[in-house]
Amino acid sequence: MPVRVSATDRIRTKIDALFAEGRELPEILEEVARLGAQLLMQAALEAEVTEFLGRERYQRTATCPDAAAGSRNGYRPVTVKTTTGPVTLERPKLRGTTAAFASRLFGKHVTKTNALETLVIASFVRGLSVRDVEATLAEALGDQAAISKSTVSEVCKAIRAEYQAWAHRRLDDITLDYLFLDASFFRMHPGSPAEPVLAAWGITTEGKPVFVGLAPGSGESTDAWASFLTDLRDRGLATPLLIVSDGAKGLIAAIEQIFPKALRQRCLIHRVRNLLAKIPAGMQAEIRDGYWAIFDTTDLTAEPGPQLVEIIDKRIEAFATKYADLYPAAMKILLTDRAGLTAYLRFPAPAHARIRHSNFIERTFAESKRRTKVIGRFPGETSAISLVWAVLDRASRGWRGVTMTPAGTRLLQDLRRSLLDPPRTLRPSSTTSGDIDEADPVPATA
């Protein structure tokens, strides 16, 4: 490789070489994504140096009246950590400058960034024409960010295909203790308001997190959620022990319709928000602190199970009684679906902090929205779902599971037997005949 070839050109050569090898695209997708991130970050650094010096590479100072003092003096390697792994860049060195150069994207000594990775995902998964993708990159990073049209086109096609394969995969090998459901709204169609994207993730019987499902929804109605959950079930997802969600009526109805045997936990964070909406500002801190004190079990000796549920249920009742005269509307909200607020207390204590709310995936959705601001409104449903999936898929690699203990495992096994595989009993024999009726299952109770 000639010495005078720029770092960005060397990366472009590597990308083009990958496609020239004749390998199947899925085999090289991860490498292309890594090189794409490396290319854009490198191009950004080069563009910043050009702006700082006031002239292009190899352009003479005499031809640029606004040029600053100093010149390029080679590169030094620097490793930047991203959510997809470490990326090595060649950071330009300068000499003879009157001011120190500091990258706006990476600072002076940055070793971790998401700024350019955001743009990588947004641009590659946007799902637009090659011209639109190139325009986005050029607007943000300058012409140096341009890559070959064939490369952009292939990457866009590959990631859309990757999502489609993921969205239709079988789920028979996933056994969940906990399933979390939530939705977030994105603008996907011209002239239309924001529309929901439905998401599901869970924690397996081994305590490992797993991203389960993502799909557009026509709304948050019972039919929309039921269709989403039916698809998961039809692809092999077995009934989980506990389903965690907010209080949307359509979602709750769909859960009870598609997974009737599962226990249902109502998100405690959503519930306190509903509660505080009915409380004057001056009293919200007191009500908030009192609300969370209800669910504080650090001073209790009771083990997870019905006894612990009963204790917390009595606290809810006492709290509602205390404030009923002052804030009847708020206390009515608190007392609605009380069983849904305490279901998590039947499960192992180490998991309580994770399974009593759905805020985890909500935070990840917020990251999706932050990243999609690079684009604004999506040109269509496919583009929106592809990008949201790309963000959640990459974020899911860093999700934490729950700690499993022998006692917790035994408790979960007992719950699985009682909820999903209850014992079968025989009906009493008829007084008119000696025949024994066919065995009927005993319905599970939540």
- Pairing assessment for the beta strands 195-204 and 424-425 based on DSSP bridges: unpaired
State whether 51 and 180 are in the same domain.
Answer: no
State whether 149 and 15 are in the same domain.
Answer: yes
- For 44, phi then psi, to 5°, come to -65, -45
Quickly state the pLDDT bin for 446 (edges 50, 70, 90).
Answer: very low
State whether 54 and 119 are in the same domain.
Answer: yes
Residue 369 has pLDDT above 80, yes or no: no
Average pLDDT, the chain: 77
Give per-residue pLDDT as tens, 39-87.
Answer: 767 777 777 787 778 777 666 666 666 667 777 777 888 877 655 567 7
Written as six digits, the tokens of 318 are 């006492």
Higher pLDDT, 356 or 190: 356
Domain CATH for 375:
3.30.420.10
Higher pLDDT, 111 or 160: 160
Residue of 29, 36, 321 lying closest to 163 (CA atoms):
29
- Of 145-159, 172-186, 266-280, 386-400, give the range with the top mean pLDDT: 266-280
In a domain, 126, yes or no: yes
Range with lowest mean pLDDT among 55-64, 209-218, 283-292: 55-64
Higher pLDDT, 232 or 122: 232
State whether 185 and 317 are in the same domain.
Answer: no
pLDDT at 161: 75
SS3 267: coil
Quickly state the pLDDT bin for 434 (edges 50, 70, 90).
Answer: very low
Domain boundary among 356, 372, 405: 356
3-state SS record for 347-379: CCHHHHHHHCCCHHHHHHHHHHHHHHCCCCCCC
Written as six digits, the tokens of 370 are 């932050």
Domain boundary among 140, 165, 190: 165
pLDDT at 42: 77
- Please give the model's pTM, rounded to 2 decimal places: 0.66
Quickly state the pLDDT bin for 437 (edges 50, 70, 90).
Answer: very low
State whether 154 and 42 are in the same domain.
Answer: yes
Domain that holds residue 412: 170-267+363-424
**Tokens 């002076």 belong to residue:** 108
pLDDT at 406: 93
Tell me what the mean pLDDT of segment 238-245 comes to: 96
Rounded distance between C-alpha atoms, residue 88 and residue 100, angstroms: 22
Other CB atoms within a 10 A radius of the CB of residue 47 amount to: 18
pLDDT at 48: 74
State whether 34 and 116 are in the same domain.
Answer: yes
In a domain, 438, yes or no: no
Residue 164 has pLDDT above 90, yes or no: no
State whether 15 and 44 are in the same domain.
Answer: yes
In a domain, 225, yes or no: yes
Give pairs for 366-374: CB < 8 Å, separation 24+.
367/391, 367/395, 368/184, 368/186, 368/392, 369/184, 369/186, 370/118, 371/118, 371/121, 371/122, 372/122, 372/186, 374/118, 374/119, 374/122, 374/123, 374/136, 374/140
In a domain, 190, yes or no: yes
State whether 191 and 260 are in the same domain.
Answer: yes
Higher pLDDT, 369 or 241: 241
Higher pLDDT, 169 or 372: 169
In a domain, 392, yes or no: yes
Give per-residue pLDDT as tens, 247-284.
Answer: 889 999 999 999 999 999 999 999 999 999 999 999 99
Q: Hey, which residues does 199 pair with through a beta bridge?
A: 182, 214
State whether 296 and 253 are in the same domain.
Answer: no
Number of domains in the chain: 3
In a domain, 45, yes or no: yes
Domain boundary among 165, 183, 204: 165
In a domain, 146, yes or no: yes
Range with lowest mean pLDDT among 34-38, 132-136, 347-351, 440-444: 440-444
State whether 81 and 147 are in the same domain.
Answer: yes
Whether 168 and 63 have beta carbons less than 8 Å apart is answered as: no
State whether 311 and 331 are in the same domain.
Answer: yes
Residue of 383, 365, 366, 375 lying closest to 119 (CA atoms):
375
State whether 405 and 280 are in the same domain.
Answer: no
In a domain, 431, yes or no: no
- For 199, phi then psi, to 5°, come to -135, 150
pLDDT at 90: 83
